[in-house]
Structure 1
Amino acid sequence: MTLINELHATSRRSSDLSKHSADVFAEAEDHTVQITRRDGEPLVLMSQREADARAGLLQFAADLITVTLDEDGTLASRMARKFEWMHALSAADQATCAQDLVAAARASFATGQAHLAVAELTSWRETATAIAAGLSAAPVEWLDTTPTVERPS
């Protein structure tokens, strides 16, 4: 995987950055922009959101590598040791979570889309947090009828 995802990157000259900075900055908010220079190596301009997502993906990759190097227990139990919030999930949900996180990481690495793995990790962590807070998957009682309210005069 390269730093710039070829499908969503544009290349601009350094002179474009000085002459049309608003346009280049607007592009960088949408996707990565490679700034080419005659006198040096190209530079990359991206949003802080994109940089944070990439940093999060690299941290997640490091965590997954740590988990795979451990040989004690199932994938789910090894991941629960690394991601302690997983202990709030049932054993079956831990196994599903582990598989979902690995699949999302593979998709992120293959496509260069960091948000896939980060979103999956966040979703599972928030689910575990909700369960730990006492929220459950028990059916919610809904009112069968909508109450009628008289219109004020």
Structure 2
Amino acid sequence: MTLIAPGRPRRSVQSSDLSRHAKEVFAAAEHEPLEVTRRDGKPLVLTTKERSDEDEAVLEIAAQLIAAVTVHEDLPLHDRLAVPYPWLKLLSRADQQRFAREIVDVARGSFSLHQPRRLLLEMQAWRNSAEAIAAGWDTSEPEIVGDPTPVEKP
């Protein structure tokens, strides 16, 4: 049996509050999305552009995860995820497998808690690792340059 966490109630304001107290309403919407109720129409949601962009990014990741999980089931998940995320192949085989496990676990956990931005952070952390490897920052031993050379104060 799967239990679904109930959604958190969204804070609500009336459209008249938006016109009378715009500064306060806008400030509140920067912290969390607000439902703006109207007598003459359906409620609207007021949020920041940043949050809206993040919501779109989360949905894109979710769509890619669903596609990867449901197609070419004969391939390992990390190979299927490398199609939408080709940078994944820059990671070691073990890290590719760890990414596949962790990204699915984080997606399930963050969605169940209605905190999908955690998924964005996890995805960005893995991408940053791949970018560092591509830039030459891998796990090899650093080159020792020798003894430091003292310099005079400028």
Q: Report the TM range for the smaller structure's normalisation.
A: 0.7 to 0.9
- Kept in 2, the 8 Å contact 1:72–1:78? The answer is no
Whole-Å Cα distance in 1 between the matches of residues 79 and 89 of structure 2? 9
Tell whether 2:35 aligns with 1:59. Answer: no
Counting only pairs closer than 5 Å after superposition, residues 23-38 of structure 1 correspond to structure 2 as: 23-38=24-39
**Does 1:21 find its partner at 2:26?**
no
CA RMSD of aligned residues (A): 2.5
Q: Residue in 1 aligned with 2:130? A: 128
Match of 1:48 in 2: 49
Cα distance in structure 2, aligned partners of 1:49 and 1:68: 29
Mapped contact 1:57–1:117 kept (Cα < 8 A): yes
Runs of 4+ in 1 over 3 A off after TM superposition: 138-142, 148-152
Greater fraction helix: 1
CA distance in 2, matches of 1:137, 1:120: 20
Q: Deviations over 1:12-52 (max 9, x none)?
A: 00000000000000001111100011121110000111111
5+ unaligned residues in a row in structure 1: which ranges? 143-147
Q: Distance in 2 between matches of 1:107 and 1:137?
A: 30
Segments of structure 2 that go 5 or more residues without pairing to the other structure are: 145-149
Letter in 2 for 1:81: V
**Counterpart in the other structure of 2:147:** none
Identity of aligned residues (%): 41
TM-score by length of 1: 0.84
> Could you tell me the TM-score, scaled by structure 2's length?
0.83
Residue in structure 1 matching 2:99, options 97, 100, 112: 97
Q: Any idea what the Cα deviations from partners look like across 1:49-83, whole Å, max 9, x if unmatched? A: 11111101110111011101221311111112221
Q: Which AA in structure 2 matches 1:62? A: A
The 1:6–1:137 alpha-carbon spacing in structure 2 relative to 1, beyond 3 Å, is: same
Counterpart CA distance in 2 for 1:139 and 1:115 is: 35
Question: Quick one: structure 1 residues 139 and 16, their matched pair in 2 at CA, closer, same or farther if it must change by over 3 Å?
Answer: farther
